[in-house]
Amino acid sequence: MRRCSGALTGDRRHEQGAEAVPAPSGRRGDTRQLERILEYVTDPDAEPSRLALLRFLERVQERDLERTRRWIAQEERREAVTRERPAQGGRPAAQWLIEHGLSGRSPVYVHVGGCWSGGRRSHGVARDQALRALAEGVQPCPQCRPDTELGLLE
């Protein structure tokens, strides 16, 4: 049994008296429109016209396009703010990081500032604090090798 697919594949049954559904006036109307289309789909004797389905599809795609444009505008604003921060005297990126364990108390690794392995539990420290942590036995990150960068190992 072909219900809605007939209207989309060229079946002529949709032309046999199925009236076109009027265009809704807003979002709430789209819900009503969808309900009417679903009524047609569940009724095997009546199907929406191909034009009604295409108009519905057009409204859905317009709404999707508007939402995508809003997302683009939000992302452009976010990037503009990010670019302006350093110019406004924002904090420079830390050159050294200390990563803490899950408890948040004991330090686990010392990292070079841009290390991809730093994670969320890392915070920026000064050079002397990084040297002190390595001297106290905190492990250097095996990926970024801060001990080499600090001159402890050559």
pLDDT digits (tens, 9 = 90+) for 25-60: 455 567 777 777 666 666 666 677 888 889 999 999
Predicted confidence at residue 23, as pLDDT, reads 46
Strand partners, 109: 99, 139
Question: Which parts of 1-144 are beta strand (E)?
Answer: 96-100, 107-112, 122-125, 139-140
Looking at every residue in the chain, the average pLDDT score rounds to: 74
User: Does residue 109 contact residue 130 with C-beta atoms inside 8 Å?
Assistant: no
pLDDT digits (tens, 9 = 90+) for 54-98: 999 999 999 999 999 999 999 999 988 877 765 555 555 678 888
User: Does residue 34 contact residue 56 with C-beta atoms inside 8 Å?
Assistant: yes
The DSSP secondary-structure symbol of 102 reads T
Distance CA 124, CA 128 (A): 12
